[in-house]
Amino acid sequence: MKQDVLYQILTTAEDCQTVSDIAKKLFLSQPYVSQVLSKAEKKYKVTLIERRTLPIELTEAGRTLCDGLERLHSDQMKIEQDLRRFTEEEQSYIKIGFSPVWIPGRDNHIIPQLQEKFSNTRFELIKTFSINSAKRLVDNRMVDIYWGPLLRGENLKNYFFYQPKVYLIIPKTSKLYQMGKKEVPFDYQMLVDLSEEKMVSLSDDSGFQRTIDHLLEDQNLPNNKLIKVNDYEAAVQLAAGGLGWTMTMEYLLPSISDRDEYNFAELPSSLIQSDNGLTLHTESSAKTREVAREMADKIQDMLKKQGKIQ
């Protein structure tokens, strides 16, 4: 049983309704997650997760083990960082976490370019969904560089790229729907009126959804969540299909079916911010910092070619 897998399961459980939710967020099978938990509970002779409640929750023993594994992993990563300067370059390994919907241009060649530049360095790509899990991975040095929404913290360094455009998706079932149009101009009253209708939401551990929730709260508007989805594409597709309105980023518009009847309206950047960039730990190795700088340069070059930045 790998302790890092158990640690990820326990930390992810805090934001999940069921064990199946944990498996989906970690891109693991549900039987495997249950097996890891069962083996750990037999080993330590305690119950780690209370499964009879909905949502599931960590027991006191589960929280104690989670805290202990976090300290253990942090110490282990510190030792590895300290020893890394004695290691041959060809043995180095850089882990890059990423949120796929935050990466413009699915056909970009950033990783192949990095591999060519650092031919003796191996790369591991780790896909994440929630900003909570991404931050834990960087904080605990389980990921060296994270590409997606900027993570904040006193021990974190950021490379800011730009703010992706954010859109309202207005389905045909909405009273605000304008027939025969796709893009419609935004006005504040539109947001006020939509807030009274049912909304398709991302799950609570999504950093982008928290940004949306804060926007509505700051404007003293209601938040009528009809359904929560832990998948960006599924959320925008359900909304465009008529289940309710939602907010999404520019990358997701192409995933909507041409058969759906809906409007989209671009929100002003002054109303909602969604910073895109790289995040790494301030105590990262010299190799990680070098790769991050090169990666930032390559991404900025790509964004300039796409016309997203000057």
Q: Three-state secondary structure along 130-174?
A: CHHHHHHHHHCCCCCEEEEECCCCCCEEEEEEECCCEEEEEECCC
User: Whole-number mean pLDDT of the chain?
Assistant: 87
pLDDT attached to residue 290: 94
pLDDT attached to residue 173: 96
Do 79 and 95 reside in the same domain of the chain?
no
Do 68 and 136 reside in the same domain of the chain?
no
pLDDT attached to residue 167: 96
Mean pLDDT of 202-206: 81
Mean pLDDT of 289-305: 92
Taking 80 as the threshold, does the pLDDT of residue 273 lie above it? no
> Among 86, 116, 139, which residue terminates a domain?
86
pLDDT attached to residue 84: 62
pLDDT attached to residue 8: 86
Are residues 257 and 244 in contact, defined by beta-carbon separation less than 8 angstroms? no
Do 200 and 237 reside in the same domain of the chain?
yes
pLDDT attached to residue 101: 62
Do 286 and 150 reside in the same domain of the chain?
yes
Do 94 and 176 reside in the same domain of the chain?
no
Which of the four pLDDT bands, split at 50, 70 and 90, describes residue 160? very high
Domain holding 174: CATH number? 3.40.190.10
Do 63 and 199 reside in the same domain of the chain?
no
> Among 63, 86, 109, which residue terminates a domain?
86
Do 187 and 253 reside in the same domain of the chain?
yes
Which of the four pLDDT bands, split at 50, 70 and 90, describes residue 89? very low
pLDDT attached to residue 90: 41
pLDDT attached to residue 85: 56
pLDDT attached to residue 86: 60
Mean pLDDT of 269-295: 90
Domain holding 17: CATH number? 1.10.10.10
Mean pLDDT of 292-296: 95
Q: Which residue has the higher pLDDT, 203 or 186?
A: 186
Taking 90 as the threshold, does the pLDDT of residue 189 lie above it? yes
Do 135 and 196 reside in the same domain of the chain?
no
Radius of gyration of the chain (CA): 21
Query: In which domain, by residue range, is 38 found?
Result: 1-86
Taking 50 as the threshold, does the pLDDT of residue 83 lie above it? yes
**Least trusted range by pLDDT, from 139-143, 223-227, 239-243:** 139-143
Do 287 and 153 reside in the same domain of the chain?
yes
Mean pLDDT of 109-114: 86
Q: Which residue has the higher pLDDT, 193 or 54?
A: 193
SS (H, E, C) the chain: CCHHHHHHHHHHHCCCCCHHHHHHHHCCCHHHHHHHHHHHHHHHCCCCEECCCCCCEECHHHHHHHHHHHHHHHHHHHHHHHHHCCCCHHHCEEEEEECHHHCCCCCCCHHHHHHHHCCCCEEEEEECCCHHHHHHHHHCCCCCEEEEECCCCCCEEEEEEECCCEEEEEECCCCCCCCCCCECCCCHHHHHHHCCCCEEEECCCCHHHHHHHHHHHHCCCCCCEEEEECCHHHHHHHHHHHHCEEEEEHHHHHHCCCCCCEEEEECCCCCCCCCEEEEEECCCCHHHHHHHHHHHHHHHHHHHHCCCCC
Do 79 and 100 reside in the same domain of the chain?
no
> Among 71, 86, 101, which residue terminates a domain?
86
Which of the four pLDDT bands, split at 50, 70 and 90, describes residue 70? confident
Do 223 and 203 reside in the same domain of the chain?
yes
pLDDT attached to residue 81: 65
Which of the four pLDDT bands, split at 50, 70 and 90, describes residue 75? confident
pLDDT attached to residue 213: 92
Total domains present in the chain? 3
Do 153 and 296 reside in the same domain of the chain?
yes
